Amino acid sequence: MSFCIAIDGPAAAGKGTISKAVAQHFGFAHLDTGLLYRATGAKTFEGLSPIEAAQTLTAQDLERDDLRSADAGQAASRVAAEPDVREALVDFQQAFARREGGAVLDGRDIGTVICPDAEVKLYVIASDEVRARRRHKELVEKGEEITFEEVLDDLRERDERDAARATAPLKPADDAVVIDTTSMSIEQAVAKVIELIEAKLG
């Protein structure tokens, strides 16, 4: 059985945490598609062009320990704006989505571009301040020296660039269910999503 759950939304809204928990609950495979773009962006630090980086991406590249850095996040947003890069990564994502046993993909264009026929489409949001607080805490815990204001500016800059790009802009699919996690605990958000999916699974 193939059953695809597409979870989109801006950075630090909670889509990654929700996706992992949901995949674990249902025994589905999980793909954080943002990692594909972060790994592609990180490879450009080594002098590769964005398209070369995307075409030569390997599973090992997704294991790099610098993929969650603020620099990798900005690089990801830059390379993701290039249509050739997105095209190079589409096949990988679509094949993953239709694997046997079910799949959860989280990203920015899963419900709109990668899996427009996904059985469940969700769009996870939260206020800018809450998202910045979450991301700032995560980065500081990893030892990065960055202020809350810098993180907030960084998130807003990425949101603006991702929403304005010509190819696969950041936006909810017309039939996506919007989940606002601003005032939700992660447990509440996960429980709500599981309930929605169980209703679809019947």
| pLDDT tens readout for residues 70-98 | 899 899 999 998 999 999 999 889 989 99
Q: Which among 180, 67, 68, 163 has a CA at the least distance from the CA of 112?
A: 163
Measured distance CA(30)–CA(110) in Å, rounded: 13
Q: Using the predicted structure, report yes or no on whether residue 23 has a pLDDT greater than 90.
A: yes
Compute the residue count for the chain. 202
Q: How confident is residue 109, by pLDDT bands cut at 50, 70 and 90?
A: very high
User: What would be the CATH architecture of the domain defined by 4-197?
Assistant: 3-Layer(aba) Sandwich (3.40)
| Rounded mean pLDDT, 164-177 | 93
Q: Using the predicted structure, report yes or no on whether residue 202 has a pLDDT greater than 90.
A: no
Measured distance CA(18)–CA(179) in Å, rounded: 11
**161-196: burial string, b at 16+ Cβ within 10 Å, e else:** bbeebeebebebbeebeebbbeebeeeebbebbeeb
Q: Does the reported pTM lie above 0.85?
A: yes
Binding site feature residues:
9-17
Q: How many CB atoms lie within 10 A of CB 91?
A: 9
Long-range contacts of 23-30 (CB under 8 A, 24+ apart): 23/103, 23/104, 25/190, 25/194, 26/102, 26/104, 26/197, 27/101, 27/102, 28/3, 28/101, 28/102, 28/103, 28/104, 29/96, 29/99, 29/101, 29/102, 29/103, 29/104, 30/103, 30/104, 30/105, 30/106
- pLDDT tens digits, one per residue of 36-69: 999 999 999 999 999 999 999 988 898 999 998 8
Binding site feature residues for ATP:
9-17
